[in-house]
Structure 1
Amino acid sequence: MINTARLRLEPVSTGAAGQLAYGGDGGWTWLGGGPEEGTRGMAGIVARAAEVGWHRPPWGLYVVVHPADGLAIGSVGFHGPPDPGGCVEIGYDLVPAARGFGLATEGVKALTAFAFTHPAVRSALAVTRPDNTRSQRVLLRAGFVRGPDQEGLRRYRVDR
């Protein structure tokens, strides 16, 4: 578990990931009734990785919980373990009612700081669609720097 001033990032088991990926709640009570598609997609990545023996905790998905009310408000997570160069790719998603309060930035900062506690991690990467300006602002506020676009996506990176 990763705690911040306003959030708790709870690791998602492979079983809960499978539930989330296929329309379930994964065992959490969600603000707004359920997670967004980004969370379901990340859960699917974890579930598929577990099926083929590739999932390597702690390099998975974390549900973002607001401790004041215990509601799940989104997710942050890794697309997999660090690559041979020491880079981890991250993703994040919040339900609409939780957006605009700096919670995504707080979650991204916490996940990145957690990644940097592992000696193998030298950098973190995140990609966005060009029109996703809200997500781009989150990354910039979290200390990421925009790099060159690749395959039509904006790339952001932060180094240890």
Structure 2
Amino acid sequence: MRALPRERTLGLLKLDLLLRDAFVAGRGAGLHPREFLLLWRLAEEPGVTVPPSELRSDVWRLAFRPETNSLAVHVSRLRAKLRVAGLDGLIETRADGGYRLADEMLRPALNLTDDPAMANGGLDAHLRLGKEAAKTNQQDNEQCAS
């Protein structure tokens, strides 16, 4: 069994599993637990539509369709918080009723291409982004030390 990563970084968006919050350019979004879990689930596969039944199962652990619009309400509140954080339009509603993260918004920041190795958010893109950030941090530290 594979352990979950502690963080997911998609461009300016960083999700921290231990803190259960999203950070945009270093600022916390103040997500509620279900909002965080929804975003975490959608961030597993940016650009891939996740059906409502899957979200209910993964986030609420429900195997049936409840007679409420709880999912839509939570997505609406999550969108509002992302809008305030500068990520308006990140969550899309698809024609089939599912939701997805708009990978077009993330593509420039992640340097994604149509290369199959980069599909679903691309581990290679995440690793490259992490290396670039580490290099920038090292350069900043060297400048501060001199």
Same fold (TM over 0.5): no
TM-score where L is the length of structure 2: 0.32
Task: State which structure, 1 or 2, has the greater radius of gyration over its C-alpha atoms.
Answer: 2
Structure with the larger helix share: 2
Q: Which has the higher strand share?
A: 1
